Structure 1
Amino acid sequence: MTAAKADGTSADGVGEVGVGPWPGGPDAWPDDPRYDPELLRDGDRRNVVDRYRYWTVEAIVADIDTRRHPLHVAIENFAHDMNIGSVVRTANAFAVAEVHIVGRRRWNRRGAMVTDRYQHLRHHGDVAALLAWAAERGLPVLGIDNVPGSVPIEGRELPREALMVFGSESTGLSAEARAGCEAILHISQHGSTRSINAGAAAAVAMHAWMLQHARPTDSAGNPI
């Protein structure tokens, strides 16, 4: 299926994605509380996998909640980082437990492509609050940053229940965050740039965890 933008048009701006009104009119609508009458009537152009067509947001969240992964991700937001939306979108794609925003409460949601409606979010005023939250739950904290002393994420056994922490695009992890990490991992690079985009790094790191702990899925998102 063609990738969709938040407004329902395709990623290249041509045509529409999703589905139109439910065939047959109201008399043919399914008798299922998960379905949204407005979407059945008007069509569903949202950026969701096919099995969630016509479902309400609440029904989609409830379904994902039955199979969320025990991975949490956090990103420091001390400079209105534009990558937070991208991190949220990837976290939704991988059905992580929660995304934690540390620092400023407000963030640019455009990059999330409306996926923040389906992803649990939690705010922490500072790094200390995040680390205290993780400690209460016994979650190991893994920093992702290419700083001296960090070790490659490739080939490392990652804990099934964990909190991955990402820093701001410009400065990386704060000193306080690095001090609170059980380990700091980096993504191996082979070119000339010092670092890759924070949103891209978060996607790579989450996928590394998924390779170890999540079942593969087909193109529709169904486990195989």
Structure 2
Amino acid sequence: MSESSIGPGEFYQVVGVGPHSKPWPTDNHFDPQLLEHGDRRNVLDKYRYWKIESIVADLNTKRHELQIAIENWQHDLNIGSIVRTANAFNVAAVHIVGKRDWNKRGAMVTDRYLTVHHHATVDEFKAWCDKENLPIIGIDNLEVSKQLESADLPKRCVMLFGQEGSGMSDEAVAVCSVVLAISQYGSTRSMNASAAGAIAMYAWAMQHLNPINHPKN
């Protein structure tokens, strides 16, 4: 496969845009440094040359009611990928449950545009959710799991994901209102945690958003 057929993205340098032609726009949300030197960030075209805080402020006006939580006991690389997907769905918040330091490599700095909470224990996370009256929906392939595809997902909820390999801890399973599994049709018992996260978030979006008529930018 040639570079021209791959295009910008995960495996090819994102070109972005170069310096802005003068006269520069004067709106306060523009970053003079980006206007002068160019904007190579992986952001929507509408956010080109914008300050990070201005992008966050705009996203905050249209956050969705879904929140995402990930257990972090082993510094799992997949956490960053799930956070990146959470950014794509503009979730209300992300929760790191366990160790405070998490592997941000896969997030590709998208966590800068999200509200990220830390909870040292599952019990602490559960107490926070109870205070906010948010049901916890576990996503894992367990004996107690029900089918994601046929589930009615609450509009306001937190989806909780476990670690790659080990899955959700027993403590995490115990605090869930329900645990849902993604139907699989091959020989493998489970799929990659970040892939499961993307599928689960998309399932929620299909029930509560209108992706068919959603503009690209």
TM range (shorter): over 0.9
Aligned counterpart, 1:165: 160
Alignment map for 1:181-192 (pairs within 5 Å): 181-192=176-187
Aligned counterpart, 1:61: 56
2:183 maps to amino acid: S
TM, length-normalised to structure 2? 0.93
Aligned counterpart, 2:3: none
Aligned match for 1:151, one of 146, 150, 170: 146
Residue 120 of structure 1 and its aligned partner are, at CA, apart by 1.1
Aligned match for 2:216, one of 215, 219, 222: 219
Residue 2 of structure 1 and its aligned partner are, at CA, apart by 4.2
TM, length-normalised to structure 1? 0.90
1:177 maps to amino acid: A
Aligned match for 2:96, one of 90, 93, 101: 101
Alignment map for 1:1-224 (pairs within 5 Å): 2-4=7-9, 11-13=11-13, 17-24=15-22, 28-216=23-211, 217-220=214-217
SS at match of 1:123: strand
SS at match of 2:127: helix
1:40 maps to amino acid: L
In 1, the alpha carbon distance for the partners of 2:130 and 2:7 equals 42
SS at match of 2:65: strand
Distance 1:138 1:89, change over 3 A: same
1:219 maps to amino acid: K
2:176 maps to amino acid: C
Q: How many residues align?
A: 210
In 2, the alpha carbon distance for the partners of 1:3 and 1:90 equals 18
1:119 maps to amino acid: L
CA-to-aligned-CA distance 1:169-189 (integer Å, 9 cap, x gap): 121111111111110000000
In 1, the alpha carbon distance for the partners of 2:151 and 2:144 equals 15
In 2, the alpha carbon distance for the partners of 1:110 and 1:3 equals 18
Residue 17 of structure 1 and its aligned partner are, at CA, apart by 1.4
| Cα contact 1:4–1:17 (8 A) shared by 2 | no
SS at match of 1:142: strand
In 1, the alpha carbon distance for the partners of 2:90 and 2:19 equals 28
SS at match of 1:206: helix
Residue 149 of structure 1 and its aligned partner are, at CA, apart by 1.9
In 2, the alpha carbon distance for the partners of 1:193 and 1:4 equals 28
Q: Where do 5+ consecutive residues of structure 1 fail to align?
A: 6-10
Q: Where do 5+ consecutive residues of structure 2 fail to align?
A: 1-5
| Cα contact 1:72–1:98 (8 A) shared by 2 | yes
Residue 18 of structure 1 and its aligned partner are, at CA, apart by 1.2
Residue 112 of structure 1 and its aligned partner are, at CA, apart by 0.4
Moved over 4 A (4+): none
In 1, the alpha carbon distance for the partners of 2:73 and 2:109 equals 22
| Cα contact 1:141–1:163 (8 A) shared by 2 | yes
Residue 215 of structure 1 and its aligned partner are, at CA, apart by 2.9
Identity in percent: 54
